[in-house]
């Protein structure tokens, strides 16, 4: 599971390039409502970019052959969002239900 998460994060690196490598611009791109806080839906949307790029047939399921890891298990978008919700909660250090720029750009906990 953690290996797949790391691969999904690595697949996001082109997005970081588009966001000019700055933590502020990377955060701003994910902060869809520009309120300086990332809600869980904003986080899931941003962090699902790689999933959506790998989902070649756009059925909301990553089959093993659509993934970068050999013999990876089938993964649905709902399962992916559930995993992201767990990660979001870990990153939300102050437990206020949103991620600040600092929490969002911190290394995964």
Q: Whole-prediction pTM value?
A: 0.77
Q: Domain coordinates of the chain in residue numbers?
A: 2-105
**What CATH superfamily classification does 2-105 receive?**
EF-hand (1.10.238.10)
Instruction: Output phi, psi for 67, to 5 deg.
Output: -100, 160
Mean pLDDT (the chain, rounded): 87
Instruction: Flag whether pLDDT at 75 surpasses 60.
Output: yes
Question: What tokens does 64 get?
Answer: 């093993």
Candidates 88, 86, 87, 64; CA nearest to 75 is: 64
Tens digit of each residue's pLDDT (9 = 90 or more) over 2-27: 555 545 555 555 554 444 568 889 89
Candidates 81, 97, 79; CA nearest to 89 is: 97
Instruction: Flag whether pLDDT at 67 surpasses 80.
Output: yes
Candidates 48, 57, 44, 39; CA nearest to 98 is: 39
What residues pair up with 76 in beta bridges, in sequence order?
61
Residue 24 pLDDT: 86
């Amino acid at each position: 599971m953690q290996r797949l998460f790391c691969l999904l994060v690595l697949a996001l690196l082109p997005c970081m390039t588009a966001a000019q490598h700055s933590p502020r611009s990377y955060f701003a791109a994910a902060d869809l409502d520009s309120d300086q806080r990332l809600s869980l839906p904003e986080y899931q949307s941003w962090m699902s970019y790689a999933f959506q790029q790998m989902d070649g047939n756009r059925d909301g399921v990553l089959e093993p052959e659509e993934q970068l890891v050999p013999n990876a298990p089938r993964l649905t978008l709902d399962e992916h969002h559930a995993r992201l919700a767990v990660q979001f909660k870990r990153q939300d250090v102050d437990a206020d239900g949103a991620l600040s720029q600092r929490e969002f750009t911190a290394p995964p906990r």
